[in-house]
Amino acid sequence: MAKSAYKIGISLIFGLLLSFCSCSVLAAIDTYQFKDAEKQARFQKLTNELRCPKCQNQNLADSNAEIAADLRAKIHLMLEQDKSDQDIINYMLERYGDFVLYQPRLSKQTFLLWYAPALLLLFGIVAIGLIVHLRTKGEQKQSDNPSTDLDAEQQQKLAQLLQSKK
């Protein structure tokens, strides 16, 4: 009985230590103070719209990469300097290219990115229409010229075969 109580006590202490260790992970969240709520809303919008250059599938707000933290700090600084959203986006585009935008601008390089899905859909619809048209045309041709009509000689041979099987 005393050994089981001892084991329970050790496991409780160990569990408490682990829970305290996991709280240190939450301390890594960076916070920024803004003069007004409008700048804070712009900060949230920009960090959600811009992609992390390292993570590739995360925006700046969700990324834990060091470069994302640096870019969040830069956005905060530029907002405090009363830069416009377009100035901040242009700053990011100059350094990281169109990749930082989740919705890249329309240009020669991104033309296929924007229009390839529509072109593929159009191509698929045309291909299906063509296949249906050719099939119905083929079926119509077969019904106009049925190949099941037998001439007199073939009918005689068929009759002989059927009689021989009886």
Place of tokens 């229409």: 129
The pTM (predicted TM-score) of the whole model is 0.53
Cα 84 from Cα 42, distance rounded (Å): 9
Give the SS3 label for residue 101: strand
Size (the chain), residues? 166
Enter the tokens of residue 61: 């707000």
From residue 138, alpha-carbon distances to 125, 133, 135 in Å are: 20, 9, 5
Cα 76 from Cα 82, distance rounded (Å): 10
Enter the tokens of residue 79: 């907002």
Please, is 25 exposed, middle or buried when counting C-beta atoms within 10 Å of its C-beta (0-12, 13-18, 19+)? exposed
Low-confidence ranges of the chain (pLDDT < 50): 24, 26-28
Amino acid at 63: S
CA atoms within 13 A on the CB side of 78: 20
DSSP state, 65?
S
Cα 166 from Cα 152, distance rounded (Å): 22
Q: How confident is the model over 89-129, as pLDDT tens digits?
A: 999 989 988 888 877 777 787 778 788 899 999 999 999 99
- pLDDT at res. 97: 83
Task: Give the residue ranges of DSSP H helices in the chain.
Answer: 2-26, 37-49, 66-80, 85-96, 111-144, 152-165
